[in-house]
Amino acid sequence: GQQLNQSPQSMFIQEGEDVSMNCTSSSIFNTWLWYKQEPGEGPVLLIALYKAGELTSNGRLTAQFGITRKDSFLNISASIPSDVGIYFCAAPRPGNTPLVFGKGTRLSVIA
Amino acid sequence: NAGVTQTPKFRVLKTGQSMTLLCAQDMNHEYMYWYRQDPGMGLRLIHYSVGEGTTAKGEVPDGYNVSRLKKQNFLLGLESAAPSQTSVYFCASSALRTGIYGYTFGSGTRLTVV
């Protein structure tokens, strides 16, 4: 249904490497949101996407709204230790119901 | 700006005890939410509110009650705590019901039930 599937579930990368993660669904969405949760904190909104095909950057982070409207992608370039955390995708469901969240991708950066 | 403030930050309860988690927001947001986060499970919605005096059930409401007596506060209650309620609890708020501009989250309450 309107579940969001994130992959990978976790990843360990070397500092300086680029990172790619994605969020997919069998449903169409009109908005995609990406959050980062640092250890011991609540999720913080990184990027919001509102149009199919849209590419939006926030520093070293770039997110894309898939053209099918069923997926979204987040890339991090030249990772650094402070990129560590859990990255969540989220999307609003029809009918004014609360956001649906993916289960997150846990990123670990090895210095 | 404080944003969303949750109290307490940590708590240990014995099975069967009760407690209330407090969430306060200073952004004049209409909509508020309670989530729990467990390893590998992501964020699961417990209850939410679309305005002062209203509450609604989310995905995992059993064992919890909520109240929204004032617009800025959203309380989550556990009447008889169980070990299965050991979790990290997050409160969030939003200006729009659709959530298209995202939610603002608090920093969480880590609850352990022994």
Tens of pLDDT, residue by residue over A62-91, are: 999 999 999 999 999 999 999 999 999 999
For an interface test with B, give the residue of A6, A36, A96 to mutate (most B CBs within 10 A).
A96
* CB proximity A7 to B under 8 Å: no
Q: Is pLDDT larger for residue B76 or for residue A3?
A: B76
A94 pLDDT above the threshold of 90: no
pLDDT of residue B1: 63
Which residues of chain B are within 8 Å of residue A30 when distances are taken between CB atoms? Answer: 100
For an interface test with A, give the residue of B4, B35, B43, B46 to mutate (most A CBs within 10 A).
B43
- B46–chain A nearest CA distance, Å: 11
Query: For all residues of chain A together, what is the average pLDDT?
Result: 95
- pLDDT average, residue stretch A8-30: 96
Residues sharing a CB contact under 8 Å with residue B23, sequence separation 6 or more, in sequence order: B4, B5, B6, B32, B34, B73, B74, B75, B76, B91, B93, B106
CA gap A14, A30 in Å, rounded: 34
The tokens of B93 are what? 């708020």
Closest CA to A5 of A100, A109, A111, A82: A100
The tokens of B111 are what? 């609850």
Which residues of chain B are within 8 Å of residue A42 when distances are taken between CB atoms? Answer: 4, 90, 92, 105-108
CA gap A66, A34 in Å, rounded: 13
The tokens of B105 are what? 């989250």
pLDDT tens-digit series, residues B8-67: 999 999 999 999 999 999 999 999 999 999 988 899 999 999 999 999 999 999 999 999
Residues sharing a CB contact under 8 Å with residue A45, sequence separation 6 or more, in sequence order: A33, A34, A35, B102, B103, B104
Q: Is pLDDT larger for residue A83 or for residue B2?
A: A83
CA gap A61, B15 in Å, rounded: 44
Single-letter code of the amino acid located at A96: N
Quick one: pLDDT band at residue A36, thresholds 50, 70, 90?
very high
- A43–chain B nearest CA distance, Å: 6
Contact A92 B99 (CB under 8 A): yes
3-state secondary structure (DSSP) of residue A78: coil
C-alpha A111 chain-centroid distance: 23
CA gap A5, B53 in Å, rounded: 34
* CB proximity A47 to B under 8 Å: no
* CB proximity A102 to B under 8 Å: yes
Classify each residue of B70-103 as buried b or exposed e, where b means 16 or more C-beta atoms within 10 Å of its C-beta. eebbbbbebeebeeebbbbbbbbbbeeebbbebb
C-alpha A61 chain-centroid distance: 10
Which residues of chain B are within 8 Å of residue A10 when distances are taken between CB atoms? Answer: none
Q: Is pLDDT larger for residue A80 or for residue A95?
A: A80
* CB proximity A2 to B under 8 Å: no
pLDDT of residue A93: 85
A111 pLDDT above the threshold of 90: no
Evaluate whether B94 touches B3 at the Cβ level (below 8 Å). Answer: no
Contact B105 A42 (CB under 8 A): yes
